[in-house]
Amino acid sequence: MREYIKIIKEAIEYNNSEMVENAEHYTDDEMVFMKGYTQALKDVLDDLNETILDDTSKFYTLRKFNLN
């Protein structure tokens, strides 16, 4: 589970840096998509962090939902 969370954090960091450093290479629509995708990853990360604190037995269901 920790590795899964690490991957999500890395994806968020990558997307944020990509949007800042290479914004001129993307259309407005692509930037909107990237911002939405990054926010979705942040939401997944929040859900996972809450699950770890709350009840780790819910992790499998949450992970399966997030991957679909």
- Which SS3 state, helix, strand or coil, does residue 1 take? coil
- Supply the pLDDT for residue 68: 45
Report the pLDDT value the prediction gives residue 50, as an integer from 0 to 100.
77
Q: Residue with structure tokens 């001129």?
A: 24
Domain map (residue ranges) of the chain: 2-67
Q: Distances in Å between the alpha carbon of 60 and those of 4, 33, 37, 47? A: 12, 27, 22, 12
Successive 10-residue mean pLDDT values, the chain, 68 residues? 86 94 92 94 86 64 55
Say what the pLDDT of residue 4 is.
81
